[in-house]
Each structure stands twice: as structure tokens, then as C-alpha cells.
Amino acid sequence: MDENTVFEINDFTNVTDMESFGAAFESILQKHVSFGRRPFLPNDVKYKMVVTATNFVKVGTRTVQIELLQPVANSSSEHVFNHPDDENEGENKNPEIDESIVVPFTATKEMQFHEDVFLSHDDLTVKFGVRECILISSSDDSDNFTDESQYNIIVGEIKTVIHMTGCEIPVFCYIKEKTLDFIQGYASDGNECINFTSSVLRNINKRHCNLHDLLLIFKEHLGAGSSAFHDDVRICSRFTHIVKLRKSKYHRLYTTDSFTRLANGLVDTLPFDTIQIVATWKGFRENSLTENHNYSDFDVNYASYWSVKINPSKNIFGVFDEILGVYSDNKRKQIKTDITCGDILEKHYVQQTTTNAFQKLTVNSASDVRFGNSHQSDREGTTGPVAPAIIQAWVDFIFQGHFSNDHFSDELQLMNDSNVYSKDASHNDIKIDEDLENLFNCPNISSSNDFLAPYKCAKKDTTTWRLAVALANVRVYMRSEPHAEPQLWIEFLLQLRKKYENMEDVEIVPNGIDHTLCGFSQKMQMIQLCINARKKRHAILDCAHMDKNDEFFDASETFRKNEICESDVMGRREKSSMMLIGDPELPMYLPITQDPCPLTDEMIDQRNSHLFSLEEEARVNEQMELILSDMQSFKAANPSAVFADFLRWHSPKDYNEKTETISERMLIPNNVWLRSWDNTKPVPAVNQKRIFNYTKIAEETFEQFENATLETVRQWIKPTVFAATLERMAEIESAYETLEDKKAQKVKIAKTLANATQNIVMADYNTISNYCCQSEIIHNMKIYLIHLFEKARESMEPPLPSNEDIRKAVKSLVNKTVANIWENSGLTETDYIVKPQEPIGRALAVLCQVDKITEKQLLNSERKEYIFSWILKNSAATGHKLFYRMYADLRSDKHSLYFANNSDCNFFSSSFI
């Protein structure tokens, strides 16, 4: 043979698309699969199918996706059964099958009757019984196998490869779109084979919707074997019922109790409105249960077990989402927030009446201002979003922590009556809302969790804290009225100004500005310090005919300086034990001195950057204020004192009493200390220029407050709102013990918030926001479920479910829902399985009003599924056992049948290749 012939052979092996597909498929099998007998898994369905390999193979112009699905042990399977039923375990093994002869073909073994198959979450396990398979589908939805002939070509190739390699894993192939669930498959061990087929119907023939008719279909499908019915068909079935609870609309009720607490609970819908009960009948033989057009034995109360889940409402978010949402989501900002609160109100209400009102701060209260149309102006107070009595109560709460307003409860009732209920609300619904409102409010807070993490926010029980709570609450309470929030801010400012003018306390300041608190809290403390300084100044200026009612006292203050009482002229505080060096006859008097100006963080930053920008000399001069003031005071108190005397008082390190010498550094010629001393005149503190110019600082702060945009206001109270939310979260959780001990998580969250508040880390705030919102949703669900269970228990006959039973049930139900909603919840979705005749099952039946499910509903429940299984003990050809299986999935819009037929006549052989 010459070389050319070899070339010709190469040329000849011009592979077809199918051949190249076959080769690719084979190489995939070689790579991922071990051939021959597959391991058989114990039949307890604690496995889930996981895609372990995905490959894409080109067939002509089309790309097909080949996935290998393999069973992985489900680690959280301990929750599968609430009460494991030991007596059933023996039935898992079918005693009629003699396993001793040969190691069986796993695919046939898996399709044998297995009564717990409905506990599996895997589609293909339910449909065909398999727990391991290769799945072929079109990688692109627009490019499906549109007919069976295309499928047959592919499957033909696959069969060839399977037989060649001895791969015993079933191979499935989707025809048309995946969502149609039209799937065919094949498996073989060389001797016998299984054909998997399906038929999906959209136009449903009502005749084939019950057990009786489906059984006929199954038997017809058995074909040849049907003559040999010496054994019963075994069946299991599963009916899905969706039970509607009351309508999901929920109305928040306003109560005096809830008024002063950070709002929590539901926004406007109940956490869920339907409960899904999936009633399963484990294996039974044909004729033991009947179902036909007119009659059904499938009474939901007598199912083998229920798998129950709650279906969350569309809007499951709670109030915390409403409160914290404005900080993370721009969409939720219902009004423009980048303009001042005054402007917000102005824009939406009659302009000429509000312009003056909010610019002139001497107005007593915004409640005196009338908004709205003129025909309403004869009504008492404001026609703005928040009624005068309510807003007054809120302002009183902010400043005093409590309120007493006679009109308040009437107004509250009015609010509840008018906006809240439409006419169709039934008395019962209102009652439930009241019950829930009470539940969410947690009237009995057993222990309040005080986080020790150092949040940089206002302290609890301060005005700032209450302001943050009130501003958050007003947003929740007046959800439909976004202008309520700016209105409250303006009312707060007016009251703050009033209190400042009257020198009433507005905030707790124990010991100077607390720099560990947030910026806004520091501003409030500053106002209080300004008030304190004013009080002190007034006390020093001990003048008889001061007009206490004069609101413009500050303006006239400078003119009264000459009226200072004679006794204070020296500005002496106390006599010291030292005698003056300047005049040894006289004792040294310690002078009354001025306090340095308190500074907020913001002011410190400004001052520091200013100092930083100066040259050294200017910097020193800038900081001389306090020393000059001290020198003036000291000279006034001790007219005959010398520089050494000043040092003995002010900087004792710089004067050696033993050697009676001044330190070297203070003796440097023309140093700033000496120079200043020489140039200072004696002036008692009271007559000096004020170091803490409280009038100026207070006015500047007020100006900031008045000109703040709504967004700024929200940012100011942000750290406090977040801390208050976490605190409230801890309160409500401890009140109902709804959350298991999650101390580590709580500590972590507390630390995250501490970091967020201290370093203004947006990501950390978002973490807290998500945590609070999710926790509240979970809490709301639990509270509502507990409420439903307890209500149900009231109308039950003994034996009643214990609190522990209810707690467990609630936990399982909620965990399942949570795992469904958030993938990252860390919870695995496990079924909540309950037996209908147990106390908790009966409670569920009452709760869902299962007794009201009618015969008709039973016959047409949401979804009905059946699995039929039959064994032909002696096949005609080989005398082997052959297995037949049919799964029927009946839904309102789609009926699907899935067949798995075992055959020992394996006509397909690899021989023709």
C-alpha cells in the first residue's frame, strides 16, 4: 500500500454531523462517567440531583447542552420527617423482588414502586423514578428540536454510544421548549432497556382527570402485558390544595401606646394570604381507594401526610423597610427631598399663607398656620397633613418623652375611622387588625436588649433619639401624606426656638459635648449648652429690673454691661493658699474664668483646618484667646500680681517654688507669654469679650436647621434611626422569643452598625437595612402564624397542640418560606411535613378551614399527581421481571403523562455500526 492510499483513507473519513456528535458525546462520557453498573442508592430520598458537569456540543449548526445530573446527599434531611414512622421503613424494600440473583440494572430498580418518591424535589425523580441521568437540551431556546425525527436522529446516535460504551445512565432529551416538559429518554444495560416517554396535553379531556380513568390509561399502555394482570397496580397520589385565608389587606391602627414607639409590623398587607397543603397518599393498591367523576375517597384529612407551605404576599416587606428604605432607594422618595422642609410645604399648600409663616420664626406654632382652601379656614388649627392635636402630641413627645393632650385620643380615633377603613371592612377584619396591632406592638416587653456596641448616634431617652423615632413614625403613620414629615420637622424647630428663647432645657448634656454621639446629636447638645450659657450669663448679670418676658433680650444685653453689680467687679472666685510675690501681704485670688467654647465635631474640623492653613505666628495668635482672657481675669482679681504669680496659678511647672525662679522657657526675651502679660489690662471675666459666643452659635445652628433640606434632616437622624430600629428589633424578638439564640449574628450586626455610624460606611448601613427588613418580615410571619394557630386552638377539641408544637410548626413553615425568598438566607428549603391527625395537623386544618373544602373542590384541586407502578413477573421472551411506571401530573391548564417502560427485547444493537 503506497502513501497515497493512506491519504485517501483520511480523505474518506469526512465525518457527518451525527458522527462528530457521537464522538463528542462519547468523549464526554469517557471524561465524566464510569461505565457499567451504577451504584444503587438506598430508597430514603435523602438525595437531590445536582448538575455535576455541563458540556456544549455542536451538531451541524445547532449547539446542544449536555448535563450530567448526579445525586448528592442532602445534609439537612433530618427535617424531612417531623415524626419518623418506624413501622413504614420495612415497606421501602419491595419483598417481591429477588435481588440475590444478579446485581440489577439500577435504572430499572429505581423505577420500581417507591412510596416516598413524592418527598423528592427532583422533577425527573418524580416523573421517571431516576436519580441520575444525562440531560440533553438545546442550549438556545430559539433553536429547539422541533420534531421527533430530529430527536430520533440524536437519540439514535446516543443509543449507539450507550451500547458501545456500556453506559447505564439514562439519557433524556427535551423536545421543543424546556417549559413544555416534553421529554423522552432511553436507558439500557445491553440486555434490557427502558424507554421513557411523555405526552403533554393543553386541551384537557375531562374524562381523564381521576384515578379510575388514569388507571385505565395505564393498563392500556401496558399493552401485551395487560393479559397477565395477576398482580395489582400500586399507586401513590398527591393532591395540592391552595387555601385562601382572609384578604391580605391590613390596616394599621393608631393607638396611644404605639405612638411613642418606633413603628414596626405590617405596612398594608398581611405577610401571606394563602396556605398550600399538599396531601400525599403513600402507596396503596388499585381498588383500595376510589376516585371517579362523582366521588372521591381522597379526603384531605385522611392523607398519609401533608406537606405544608405558606405563600408570601406580593409585598411582604414590613415597616422597617419603610423606615430604612429612604436611605437606600431613591425610588421610594415620594417627594423632592433636596429642598428645605419649608419649601416642601410651601409648594404643596397655599403659598401666600405659608411664606410668612415659615420665614418668620417668632410664630408660635405651625399649627397656628392655616393651610389649604379658604373655606376650611374656619376650622381649628391646621388643615395640613397632620392634625394640630396629633402634631402637638408628637412635639411634646419629642421634647418631654410623654404628652398629655385631651384632644389627642379623639383625633387619633378620627384618623383611624376616616382614612383607614373602607365601608366593606367587616367587623371581624377590624377585630383581627386590632389583635395584630396589639401583637406587633409587644405591650409586654420582657427584656430590652441594650447593645453595648459603640454606635455614634444619639443616646436613648434624649430629645434627638425621640425626634428620630417621631420622624420615622410620621412617615409610617402618614404613609399617604409625604408632607407630614417636613411638617413635623418645622413644628419641632418652632418649639426648639421657643424653648431656646424661654431658656428651657431641650437636651441632656451631662458634661460638655459628647463627641461619641452623632453630629446632629452634638448640634442639639450645642443648643442646650447655649441655653446653659445664657442662663449662667443671666445669673452673673444679677440685675434687678430685667424684663423676663422680653423675647429680644439678647439684643439689649450689650447695653446692660454697665449695670454689673459692684460685688463682681474683681471677678474673684476664691482665695488661694498662696501669697502674691508682687505683694506678699496679699493672698492670691483665683479668678472667675471664661469657659472655652464648646465645639462639635463639625466645628472642630473647621477650626483645625483653619489653624492648619495659618503661619506659625498667626496660629499662636489665633489660640491666644483663652490665655489673654485668663490673664485679664487674673489681673482683675489680683491687681498687684506679677507674671510669676500668674505662672504659679496657670502653669505651676514653669515656676519653681523652692528656688523661686521662673523656668527658662518662660524667660525667653519677648516670648508670647511675657509679651501678652505686659500688654494685658485687668478685666474681670464678666466684662470680657465672650469666648463662647452662644448667641452667634445658637443662631448659626438654628439657621442650619431651618435651611436644611429634607434629605439633610434624614441624614442627620440616620445613625439614630438605624440604632433605634435595631433596638426595636431586639425588643420585639425578645418579647415573643421568635428568634432562636443568634447571639453571634447579633454581635456581628451590632459591630457593623458601630462601624457604619463611626465611619459613615454606606455598605454597612445597607447590611443593617437588609438585616432589619428581613428579620422583620420573618418576625411578622411568625407573629401572624402564631396568632392564627392560637386562634385555631381555641376552637379545637382536645388533644390540643402544645406551645412547643406551634413554635416548631411556625419555625419550619417560616424557614421554608424564607429559604424560598432569599437564596442567601443560609436556610435550606426543607418540607414541613405534618400528619393530618396529629394535634398540630388538626390545628392547621382548623386554621385553613379544611372542613370547608367541598367534594367538588376535592375532585378538582389545584394539582393532582398519581404514580402507577406494575410488575410483569415473567416476560414472554426471557422470563425476567419487567417494570412499568406512569406518572400523571394534572393541572388546570396542562395534563402530562410520563411513562417508563421496561423491555427485555433489546432490538437495538451496536452490531450494525
Partner 1 sequence: MSDDSSSPLTTLKILITGESGVGKSSLMLRFVDDVFDPEQAATIGVDFRVTSMAIDGNRVKLAIWDTAGQERFRTLTPNYYRGAQGVICVYDVTSRSSFEKLNHWMMEVDTYCTSNNIIKMVVANKIDMMNRVVSREEGLKFAKRHRTLFIEASAKTKEGVQCAFEELIEKIIQTPDLWENDRPAFRLGDTPDENGGGMCGC
Under the rule (CB under 8 A), what is the footprint of partner 1? 512, 515, 595-596, 599, 601, 604-605, 607-608, 611-612, 616, 619-620, 622-624, 626-627, 630, 650-651, 653-654, 663-666, 668, 671-673, 747-748, 751-752, 754-755, 758-759, 761, 763-764, 767
Question: Looking at beta carbons only, is 358 or 722 nearer to partner 1?
Answer: 722
Question: Could you give the 3-state DSSP secondary structure of residue 249?
Answer: strand
Task: Identify which of residues 500 and 765 has a Cβ nearer to partner 1 in the complex.
Answer: 765
Helix, strand, or coil here: 349? coil
Q: How far is the CB of 244 from partner 1 (least distance, A)?
A: 43
Min dist. Cβ of residue 525 to partner 1 (A): 14
Residue number with CB closer to partner 1 (244 or 748): 748
CB of 600 to partner 1, least distance (A): 10
3-state class (DSSP) for residue 802: coil
**Residue 556 C-beta: closest distance to partner 1, Å:** 31
Output the smallest distance, CB 458 to partner 1, in A.
17
217 vs 760, beta carbon nearer partner 1: 760
Q: Which is nearer to partner 1, 404 or 613 (CB)?
A: 613
Cα(42)–Cα(110) distance, integer angstroms: 10
Q: How far is the CB of 576 from partner 1 (least distance, A)?
A: 14
Q: How far apart are CA 35 and CA 39, in angstroms?
A: 11
> Rounded distance, CA 625 to CA 691, Å?
7
CB of 460 to partner 1, least distance (A): 20
- Can you say whether residue 834 is alpha, beta or left, with left for phi > 0 and alpha for psi between -120 and 50 degrees? beta
User: What is the Cα–Cα distance from 514 to 517, expressed in whole angstroms?
Assistant: 6
Closest approach of Cβ 501 to partner 1, in Å? 28
Kindly state the DSSP code that residue 838 receives in the 8-state scheme.
Answer: S
| Least spacing, CB of residue 234 vs partner 1, in Å | 55
Contacts (Cβ under 8 Å, ≥6 apart) of 135: 66, 67, 68, 69, 124, 171, 172, 173, 174
Q: Which amino acid is at 466?
A: R
Between 83 and 536, CB nearer to partner 1: 536
- Residue (434 or 595) nearer to partner 1, CB: 595
- Buried (b) or exposed (e) across 26-53, using 16+ Cβ within 10 A? bebbeeebeeeebeebebebbbbbeeee
CB of 459 to partner 1, least distance (A): 16
Nearest approach, Cβ of 653 to partner 1 (angstroms)?
5
> How does DSSP classify residue 852?
G
Map 100-167 to HEC letters: CCCCCCHHHHHCCCCCCHHHCCCHHHHHHCCCCEEEEEECCCCCCCCCHHHHHHHHHHHHHHHHHHCE
Q: Which of 379, 207, 226, 356 is nearest to 876 (CA)?
A: 226
Q: Are 712 and 342 in contact (CB under 8 A)?
A: no
Whose Cβ is closer to partner 1: residue 122's or residue 764's?
Answer: 764
Which residue lies nearer to partner 1 by CB, 387 or 666?
A: 666
User: Going by C-beta distance under 8 Å and a sequence separation of 6 or more, which residues neighbour residue 755?
Assistant: 761, 764
Nearest to 337 by CA among 456, 471, 526: 471
- For partner 1, the closer of residues 668 and 877 by Cβ is 668
Phi, psi torsion values for 6, nearest 5 degrees: -60, -40
What is the SS3 assignment for 68? strand
CB of residue 462 to partner 1, shortest distance in Å? 19
Question: Could you give phi then psi for residue 270, rounded to 5 degrees?
Answer: -70, 155
Shortest Cβ distance from residue 540 to partner 1 (Å)?
20
Chain position carrying cell 489680683: 638
C-alpha cell of 778? 420573618
Least distance to partner 1, CB of residue 512, Å: 8
Q: 864 - beta bridge partners?
A: 239, 890
The Cα 603–Cα 719 span in angstroms is 19
CB of 758 to partner 1, least distance (A): 7
- Could you write out the three-class secondary structure of 651-712? CHHHEECCCCEECHHHHCCCCHHHHHHHHCCCCCHHHCCCCCCHHHHHHHHHHHHHHCEHHH
Q: How far is the CB of 741 from partner 1 (least distance, A)?
A: 17
Rg of the chain over Cα atoms, rounded to whole angstroms, equals 41
Smallest CA-to-CA distance from 134 within 112, 164, 155 is with: 155
Phi and psi at 593, nearest 5°, equal -115, 165
Residue closer to partner 1 by CB (options 70, 594) is 594
Strands of 549-662 (E only): list them.
Answer: 572-579, 587-591, 655-656, 661-662
Helix (H, G, I), strand (E, B) or coil at 24: helix
Residue nearer to partner 1 on the CB measure, 213 or 625: 625
Specify whether the CB–CB gap between 523 and 704 falls below 8 A.
Answer: yes
Q: Which is nearer to partner 1, 24 or 666 (CB)?
A: 666
Closer residue to partner 1, CB minimum distance, 591 or 836: 591
Looking at the Cβ atoms of 165 and 758, the one nearer to partner 1 is 758
Q: At closest approach, how far in Å is the CB of 121 from partner 1? A: 34
Instruction: Identify which of residues 475 and 635 has a Cβ nearer to partner 1 in the complex.
Output: 635
Nearest to 488 by CA among 366, 327, 332: 366
- Measured from the CB atom, is 14 or 613 closer to partner 1? 613
Supply 102's cell numbers: 444478579
Of 664 and 740, CB closest to partner 1: 664
189: its cell numbers: 444495560
**To the nearest whole angstrom, how small is the minimum distance from the Cβ of residue 665 to partner 1?**
6
DSSP for 476-495, written as a single string: HHTTT-TTHHHHHHHHHHHH
